Amino acid sequence: VDRLARQSPARLALGVFAGVIAIFTALLSLPIATATGTRAPFVDALFTATSAVCVTGLVTQPTGTYWSTWGQVAILVAIKIGGLGVMTLASLLGLAVSRRIGLTQRLLVSSETKMTRLGEVGSLIRIVILTSTLFEVAIAVILIPRFHLLGESWSTSAWHGIFYAISAFNNAGFVPTAEGLAPYVSDWWILLPIVIGVFVGSLGFPVVLDVLRHARRPRRWNLHSKLTLTMSAALVVAGTALVAAFEWSNPRTFAPLDWPATILASLFAGVMPRSGGFSTVDVAGMHEGTWLLNDALMFVGGGSASTAGGIKVTTLAIMLLAILAEARGDPDVEAFGRRIPREALQVAIAVSLVSATIVLVASLALLAITGLALDEILFEVISAFATCGLSTGITAELPDEGKYVLVFLMFIGRTGTMTFAAALALRNRRRVIRLPEERPIIG
Amino acid sequence: VDRLARQSPARLALGVFAGVIAIFTALLSLPIATATGTRAPFVDALFTATSAVCVTGLVTQPTGTYWSTWGQVAILVAIKIGGLGVMTLASLLGLAVSRRIGLTQRLLVSSETKMTRLGEVGSLIRIVILTSTLFEVAIAVILIPRFHLLGESWSTSAWHGIFYAISAFNNAGFVPTAEGLAPYVSDWWILLPIVIGVFVGSLGFPVVLDVLRHARRPRRWNLHSKLTLTMSAALVVAGTALVAAFEWSNPRTFAPLDWPATILASLFAGVMPRSGGFSTVDVAGMHEGTWLLNDALMFVGGGSASTAGGIKVTTLAIMLLAILAEARGDPDVEAFGRRIPREALQVAIAVSLVSATIVLVASLALLAITGLALDEILFEVISAFATCGLSTGITAELPDEGKYVLVFLMFIGRTGTMTFAAALALRNRRRVIRLPEERPIIG
Ligand SMILES: [K+]
Ligand SMILES: [K+]
């Protein structure tokens, strides 16, 4: 795996994901997977399997009522496998990248421990499984008594608690009931653990492990952790404040809530575009401005090597730092006392522009296929590409071609940005002849 | 001027443009400026003056019917002054940049001629005025007989010919009649000179002069000219083909036309987002997909130091070349046998991300102010920022605050990108202490 990851990271990730999606499509195509016992249409089985494995959360059929308990368990397993797959594959690629480019900054083990490669990979996978399961258990343990207090049986409470815990920490956005989290819009006990789970999950494993290892000494966190945490926090604060401003007096969303509930709902809506994908108020009823804000936040997404999607917060951070360096007249892009290499800037441009192009082309395709307006299309396309899972409610109404476009977006959004950046970073960068320099006019 | 341009290019451009806009706002506020002889509201006078001086073409009142002949002449003079101002200022800044960064590639004179700086500036301005006026005369001479053949008096034909010639070459997008160019949708004689005028005008003076000087030897064109021409041609071809695909059978736009007229209309609609701003079919009737396509094309805009707006085609070209270099594993960004310096890439990121942020913030502001949908708002915001002037028809209906947002966008879009890039390029880039390098994970 390690060798394959270094030699052809793209093929590895694409193959693993395509295979796992095929298996779950087959499982969800069985008659026992639906509540009515009839075979689900291929497009719905494929869409749901892709959405679960790619931890997106967009659905063409309501998870809690259309699928049987058996089907819902399959979806939950797909989320867990997809989440673990993303975290381990991305961490492996990160390991390969950091080794190839000759940095001592490893993801897991410092070079002094002299572990073998196989041991290193095995220990990485073990640690990822252990840590993520611990986080999920912690969230479930908090949620289950609350569901029971609210009148559910212990077994239903346990099922809902476990489902939400796994769905939240893996940023999957699937909900086990038809109403989802809407009934708990003012319930801090339920929503706060979910918000924290989504936020921690969206940081990515390299950050979580680095922070856990140096929990008491933030100064020793590596540059990647510092950038990810700072940028994520800034986006949550900005998102929360702007959602509150746009929705405060909207009768279809926040207006009926008292002010503590409004603050909770704003915080919730501010964190979810990172790519949690849950919603406590009706997204369809939100202001156009909130939609556009969500478009921007979802496009940025979460941390690298996390279950979140998008171009990633470090990509945005590097571009912002480049602007800051330009404005100051600094020749180097710097942050937290470190210089960021020029190649990183080039990768950031490539990831951003390719992502923007994919969103543009997919939006044009969906506009051509459907008669829907740009606001809903753009929201859906970015949500699928960034594997966020928020929706204005058009997913189920799309024609089959439109659903296949979203399937492609979820798949490419999940596997593409991860492997693309790794593939770029693993490139051979030697060159004998340098051409004479000439500067075009810009802007 | 040369000294000021090098010392504080931003202040020079902002001051000149603000002053000229103030003068024309005053002129358009006179009662004789309107057809009815009543004083125009301040917001309309300011909006029209800004739109004319910034060669945008968005209007809150129809130019041909609301303003008197006197008012229309004032608008035409404002366009001519604004266009010349953009071309000379941008060329001066380009001159300052190319001198400061120590390149021999000058805009006008090769270093052998040893002209003094004052002489150089004077000769630049003379050549810009002469060349642009020659182009405008040529377009007018072609248009005037056609207008006369179509039944207009010689004096009206002359007025319309001159108005369209100046409006086209300066990429201004103003039309002297209520119907604009719609009656000539299938008239190659009228539309082809306008298309060519808009295209040449959108390339920018550095390119036009370079190409004229080495007309027979394209190999000797400089990198900037080659990049601008290639990228502009690619965008026109892509724009024309995609508009044709989206609108071919649209009953509100191309469906009533025969196929040669459809081709002409597609070509026209493919060139205008570069930032001509004319339209022969109703933009409001176009497909949502065409709107989104226009959004993307308008955002890119035209050539540097031209009357076109947007982030400029060279900025996009550099970012695409950076992706190509990444994909190939090249350490350098190269084009046409030349290496593009790393700093250019950093300026390109800065220009693009700042522009995208301005569009995002302005769209959020207009969504908050008005009750309009995202598609129309985004189109209007990008059109104003890129000084393109195409509109889905909401300009006149906006509340005054919304009109002021557009005024700000036109002003910042015109003066901002031009001076921002120059200011960045003129920065001092010396640094003694280099920090240790650390690479974050991207994507
Ligand atoms: K999600
Ligand atoms: K224009």
Going by C-alpha positions, the residue among A191, A287, A190, A198 that lies closest to residue A236 is: A198
A 10 A CB-CB count for B248 gives 15
B74, B33 Cβ separation under 8 angstroms: yes
CA distance linking residue A29 with residue A38, whole number of Å: 9
pLDDT, mean of residues B11-29: 88
Helix, strand or coil for residue A401?
helix
Which residues on chain A are in Cβ contact (under 8 Å) with B373?
A: 288, 373-375
**How many angstroms separate the alpha carbon of residue B55 from the centre of ligand 2?**
5
Question: What DSSP designation does A83 have?
Answer: H
DSSP category for residue B334:
E
Whether residue B329 lies within 8 A of chain A, CB to CB, comes out as yes
For residue A412, give the amino acid letter.
Answer: I
Question: Computed over its alpha carbons, how large is the radius of gyration of chain B?
Answer: 22
Pairwise CB contact (< 8 Å): B437 & A341: yes
Per-residue pLDDT at B418 exceeds 80: no
| Model confidence band, residue A347 (pLDDT cutoffs 50, 70, 90) | confident
Integer CA distances (angstroms), A17 to A50, A59, A88, A311, in order: 9, 19, 12, 19
Residue tagged 């993307």 (tokens): B296
- pLDDT reported for residue B422: 64
Question: Do the beta carbons of residue B380 and residue B406 sit within 8 Å?
Answer: yes
φ, ψ dihedrals at B75, nearest 5°: -60, -45
Q: In the structure encoding, which two tokens stand for residue A430, read together? A: 């030697």
Q: Which of A94, A288, A443 sits opposite B417 (nearest CB)?
A: A443
Which residue among B329, B428, B443 sits closest to A311, beta carbon to beta carbon? B443
Nearest to A437 among B338, B346, B440 (CB): B338
What distance lies between CA A33 and its chain's CA centroid?
A: 26
Q: Chain B: residue nearest A104 by CA?
A: B438
Inter-chain contact A429–B331, Cβ cutoff 8 Å? yes
Tokens representing B232 are: 């502009």
Residue A440 domain-assigned (yes or no) = no
**Is there a contact between B56 and B388 (Cβ–Cβ < 8 Å)?**
yes
| Segment B312-329, tens digit of pLDDT | 898 899 889 888 887 777
Residue B335 phi/psi, 5-degree rounding, is -160, 135
Question: Mean pLDDT, chain B, as a whole number?
Answer: 83
Q: What share of chain B is helix, strand, coil (3-state, %, to 5)?
A: 70, 0, 30
- Give the model's confidence band at A87: pLDDT under 50 very low, under 70 low, under 90 confident, else very high: confident
For residue A376, how many other CB atoms are within 10 A of its CB? 21
Distance CA A438, CA B335 (A): 10
In sign, the C-alpha dihedral spanning B269, B271, B277, B280 is negative
Give the integer Cα–Cα distance in Å for A88 and A383.
23
Q: How far apart are CA B234 and CA B246, in angstroms?
A: 18
Query: For A41-65, what is each residue's pLDDT tens digit?
Result: 999 999 999 999 999 989 998 888 8
Pairwise CA distance, residues A249 & A145, whole Å = 33
A384 alpha carbon to ligand 1 midpoint, in Å?
Answer: 9
Task: Give the best-scoring range by mean pLDDT among A421-435, B77-91, B325-339.
Answer: B77-91
Tens digits of residue pLDDT in A91-145: 676 666 555 443 333 343 343 344 445 566 677 778 888 888 999 999 999 999 9
Does residue B225 lie in a domain region?
yes
Distance CA B343, CA B333 (A): 11
Whole-number Å distance between alpha carbons of A130 and B374 = 45
Q: Which helix (H) or strand (E) holds B266?
A: helix B259-271
Q: Quick one: pLDDT band at residue A421, thresholds 50, 70, 90?
A: low
- Average pLDDT value for residue range A385-402: 89
By CB atoms closer than 10 A (0-12, 13-18, 19+), residue B432 is: exposed
Which of the two residues, B116 and B141, has the higher pLDDT score? Answer: B141
Please check whether residue B441 lies inside any domain of the structure: no
| B241 near A CB under 8 A | no
Q: Is the pLDDT of residue B143 over 70?
A: yes
Answer whether residue B442 shows pLDDT above 70.
Answer: no
Instruction: Name residue A338's beta-bridge partners.
Output: A335
pLDDT at residue B117 tops 60: no
Q: Which amino acid is at A72?
A: Q
pLDDT of the residue at B363: 94
Residue A333: CA atoms inside 13 Å, Cβ hemisphere, count?
27
User: How many residues in total does chain A contain?
Assistant: 443
DSSP B351-401: HHHHHHHHHHHHHHHHHHHS---HHHHHHHHHHHHTT----SS-GGGS-HH
Determine the average pLDDT of the residues in B332-336: 81
Contacts of B406 (CB under 8 A, 6+ apart): B47, B58, B380, B381, B384, B395, B398
Q: Measured between CA atoms, how close is B154 to chain A, in angstroms?
A: 42
Q: Cα separation of A344 and B426, whole Å?
A: 24
| Cβ B9 vs Cβ B419: under 8 Å | yes
Element (H, E) at B95: helix B69-100
Strand blocks (E) in A235-388: 333-335, 338-340
Question: The complex's ipTM?
Answer: 0.84
Amino acid at B51: S
The arithmetic mean of pLDDT across residues A409-414, rounded, is 90
The pLDDT, as a whole number, for residue B421 is 63
Q: How many CB atoms within 10 Å of residue A38?
A: 9
Identify whether B430 is part of a domain.
no
**Contact between chains at A434 and B339 (C-beta distance less than 8 A):** yes
pLDDT tens across B279-308, in order? 888 888 888 889 999 999 999 998 887 888
Contacts B340 to A, Cβ<8 Å:
437-440
Whole-angstrom distance, CA of residue B92 vs CA of residue A380: 45
Question: Which residue range is the domain that position A309 belongs to?
Answer: 2-425
DSSP-derived 3-state class of residue A339 = strand
Which chain A residues have a beta carbon less than 8 Å from that of B367? 287-289, 292
C-alpha to C-alpha distance for B316 and B231, rounded to whole angstroms: 8
Q: What mean pLDDT do residues A397-417 have? A: 89
**How far is Cα B84 from Cα A250, in angstroms, rounded to an integer?**
48
Mean pLDDT is highest, among A111-115, A237-241, B334-338, for A237-241
pLDDT higher at A215 or A376: A376
Of the pLDDT bands very low, low, confident and very high (cuts 50, 70, 90), residue B107 is very low
Angle at B140 between CA B138 and CA B143, to 5 degrees: 115
Distance CA(B44)–CA(B52), nearest Å, equals 12
Judge whether B422 is closer than 8 Å to chain A, CB to CB.
Answer: yes
Strand (E) or helix (H) holding B8: none
Q: What's the rounded Cα separation, in Å, for the pair B216 and B116?
A: 29
Task: Assess whether pLDDT exceeds 70 at residue A411.
Answer: yes
Q: How far is the CA of A359 from the centre of ligand 2 (A)?
A: 27
Instruction: Specify which residues A437 forms β-bridges with.
Output: B339
- Asked if B323 has any chain A CB less than 8 Å from its own CB, the reply is yes
Give the integer Cα–Cα distance in Å for A34 and B230. Answer: 55
Is pLDDT at B256 greater than 90 in this prediction?
Answer: no
Tokens for B74? 């004032």
Residue B442 lies in a domain: no
**Residue A442 is nearest to which of B315, B374, B428, comparing CB atoms?**
B315
Q: What is the pLDDT of residue A121?
A: 67
Terminal alpha carbon distance of chain B: 45
Specify the higher pLDDT residue, A27 or B126: A27
Task: Starting from the CA of residue A309, give the closest ligand.
Answer: 1
Is residue B362 less than 8 Å (CB to CB) from chain A? no
Q: Which residues pair with B34 in a beta bridge?
A: B67
Give the residue among B77, B81, B99 at the shortest CA–CA distance from B9: B99
Mean pLDDT lowest among B30-44, B78-92, B305-319? B78-92
Element (H, E) at A417: helix A417-425
Amino acid at A294: N
User: Given the structure tokens 């991305």, which residue do they identify?
Assistant: A90
The SS3 of residue B122 is helix
| Residue B438 falls inside a structural domain | no
Our count of domains for chain B comes to 1
pLDDT digits (tens, 9 = 90+) for B215-246: 888 888 888 888 899 999 999 999 999 999 98
Residue A322 to residue B373, Cβ atoms within 8 A: no
Q: Kindly state whether residue B435 falls inside one of the protein's structural domains.
A: no
Do the beta carbons of residue A52 and residue A24 sit within 8 Å? yes
- Angle ∠(A291,A294,A299) on CA atoms, nearest 5: 130
Question: What DSSP string runs through A144-156?
Answer: HHHHHHTT--HHH
Is 80 exceeded by the pLDDT of residue B7? no
Among B92, B58, B71, smallest CA distance to B28 is for: B71
CB of B308 closer than 8 Å to CB of B302:
yes
Q: How far apart are the C-alpha atoms of B382 and B379, rounded to whole Å? A: 5
Rg (CA), chain A: 22
Picking from B209, B185, B193, B217, the residue whose alpha carbon sits closest to that of residue B138 is B193
Mean pLDDT, range B27-52, rounded to an integer: 92
Residue A384 within a domain: yes
Does the CB of B443 have a partner CB in chain A at under 8 Å? yes
Q: Do residues A158 and A148 make contact, with C-beta atoms less than 8 angstroms apart?
A: no
- For tokens 């909770």, the residue is A264
The pLDDT of B50-65, averaged and rounded, is 90
**What SS3 class is residue B244?**
helix
